[in-house]
Structure 1
Amino acid sequence: MGRKKMQMAEKSRALTLLEKGDSVIAVARDIGVSREAIYQLKRSTSSFPPGMVPKRKSGSGAPKKTTPRTDKLLKREVTSYPSITSFELKNKHPELLNCVSTRKIRHRLQKDLGLPCRRAAKKPMLTAAMKKKRLIFCKRYRYWTTEEWRKVMFSDESTFRLVRGVPKMVRRPSTASRYDPKYTVKTMKHPGSVMVWGAFSGNMDRAGLYFLPRNVTKKGSNYITVLKDHLLTFWRIHQCDHFMHDGAPAVQHTSRRS
């Protein structure tokens, strides 16, 4: 047995086929509905003028708590302030959202307006001076070819914590203690760390890694040592013409010694 509910276009086609003399079985097979649905459509339109299609009856249930006006308001507010919460929306517009629950507001934003709640991505904060320097850099090298960029050696470093407490979700019964070791994430106040330096180029990809001693950070003096002992060898192998590193003051890239 097929489905019973039909759209207006399907009802119009079914009535047209019935007027042409097709059987109820053939019409039901063509539309993809049950025979009872075609019989019911035929009975309900017996007193209608030719060409008239019966409208679908209004569904049961409570009426919508929101109107097109409130939906437009919700979309405008979230578009202007993406971090605004449903609770803040309700308090900001009590005259329109007084009878609407915060759960209904979230449902309307996610399902009907296409604005689901997502975790914001983390991105470095750039000052006006930083943006200006980046723009100058792009304009200076915008006409470089692929072959020219392949001969650039890039380097960077990163610090890795030896013990790192990773947040996680746990399912803990109400009778258990929150601080039970089974339900906690282990952390250390001053965990050990290792700084790793690496480089690469477009000619031959990775150019090796160098691990600094434990809990030793990079300074102007040891940074020069790293470049002499680990960069120059790969520099000749990769046949590069330029060396590029960031201007991080924490590793003394901008110091006079380096």
Structure 2
Amino acid sequence: MTRINTSDTDKAQIIAWRQEKVPIKTICDRTKQCKRTIMTILSAAKNLPSGSIPLTKPRSGRLKVTSKNTDMLLKREVTKNPRLTASELKISYPELLGKVSVRTVQHRLQKDLGLPCHMAAQKPLLTARMVKQRLEFANFYKHWTPEQWEKVMWSDESNFSIVHRGRVRVRRPIGSDRFSPAYTQKTVKHSQHVMVWGCFSGFLERGRIYFLPKNVTMNSDKYITCLEEKLLETYLIHESEMFMQDKAPCHTSKKVMKYLDDHHINVMQWCGNSPDLNPIENAWKIMKSKIRRACVSSLDELKEEIKRVWIREMTPEYFKNLAHSMPKRIQMVIEKKGQMTKY
């Protein structure tokens, strides 16, 4: 059996069972301890007064260089400021940690205190006003059913680059060259990219996508052209009842809002800085992951790959599931009191 440290409570229970004439094998099965351990505990208990528990013998090995109070101090400081590093903690408390290595501080935090280091999730900065708007939005739509969310036409823009800029994890053998081409990620200063506008509904899967010309950013006029070419017909075909767009200035200008009103497009009142509430953001992320594996080398190839993934790999079921995720997103915003969620 695997060796397990026996607590004082377990020792007392073993002694009590044996006094009740419970067989040794049964005690072994109940405690997951080997027979030798049980017999050692019972033998030691015979020479002790009634009700006493055998003490654990001191074990070999170096004593811990940090005390319980020091460990609690480390936990308190990291809980207060999760961005503190082991080196910064060591510098902050020279009297307590002066003779303690940085590696030992890291071990205490990770193994003993259950505070391993993770990459911080990147989320938009929310002002108090934005948090309030998000909470109001969630409370307003908290009773909507998945079928009602299917009738919303979701939209957004996203940049697709030829060279991926995010961090990539690789597995390499111990002792291998970290800078070998096989284990490095190639970067460029100004990667070519294209901005794409797209839309979808949970009722009739994906809508249409629109490519902005090279070196052109979205403005009110371009956005109206995009809506005229790609949205109006799609909105009718999908039998949508509401149009979702974020609060980018080119989306909410008077000219654009008048255009949408003239064409009887019911615009959802959106809350700023809330990509976690827009399910099309998840679609963009999946598409970028698929396109990155294609290893495109020009803008024309990039555009063709975007079209291919959008049409062939983004299934109707996927878009329906995105629309149906809205009740969970809304509930999570309420639980987080307006703060960012995992989406």
Give the whole-Å Cα distance in 1 for the aligned partners of 2:18 and 2:207.
77
* Matched position secondary structure for 2:195: strand
**Alpha carbons 1:4, 1:34 under 8 Å: kept:** no
Amino acid of the structure 1 residue aligned with 2:68: P
Residue 30 (structure 1) aligns with:
26
Q: How does 1:152-171 map to 2 (within 5 A)?
A: 152-165=152-165, 167-168=167-168
Residue 285 (structure 2) aligns with:
none
C-alpha spacing 1:215/1:172, structure 2 compared with 1 (3 Å): farther
Give the whole-Å Cα distance in 1 for the aligned partners of 2:241 and 2:109.
54
Matched, 1:229 2:225: no
Residue 87 (structure 2) aligns with:
87
C-alpha spacing 1:58/1:137, structure 2 compared with 1 (3 Å): same
Amino acid of the structure 2 residue aligned with 1:123: K
Q: How does 1:61-100 map to 2 (within 5 A)?
A: 61-100=61-100
CA RMSD of the aligned region, Å?
A: 3.7
TM-score (structure 1 length as normaliser): 0.76
**Number of aligned positions between the proteins:** 250
Give % identity: 44
Residue 252 (structure 2) aligns with:
254
Greater fraction helix: 2
> How far is 1:200 from its partner?
1.9
Residue 245 (structure 2) aligns with:
245
Give the whole-Å Cα distance in 2 for the aligned partners of 1:115 and 1:217.
43
Gaps of 5+ in 2: 257-343
Give the whole-Å Cα distance in 2 for the aligned partners of 1:177 and 1:38.
51
* Matched position secondary structure for 2:188: coil
Q: Deviations over 1:179-222 (max 9, x none)?
A: x7666543333332222111123433322223334444323222
* Matched position secondary structure for 2:252: coil
**Alpha carbons 2:17, 2:27 under 8 Å: kept:** no
Amino acid of the structure 2 residue aligned with 1:75: K
**Alpha carbons 1:70, 1:96 under 8 Å: kept:** yes
Q: Deviations over 1:162-194 (max 9, x none)?
A: 23355455869999896x766654333333222
Instruction: Determine which structure has greater relative contact order: mean sequence separation of CA pairs < 8 Å that are 6+ residues apart, divided by chain length.
Output: 2
C-alpha spacing 1:148/1:9, structure 2 compared with 1 (3 Å): closer
Amino acid of the structure 2 residue aligned with 1:253: H
Give the whole-Å Cα distance in 2 for the aligned partners of 1:213 and 1:35.
77
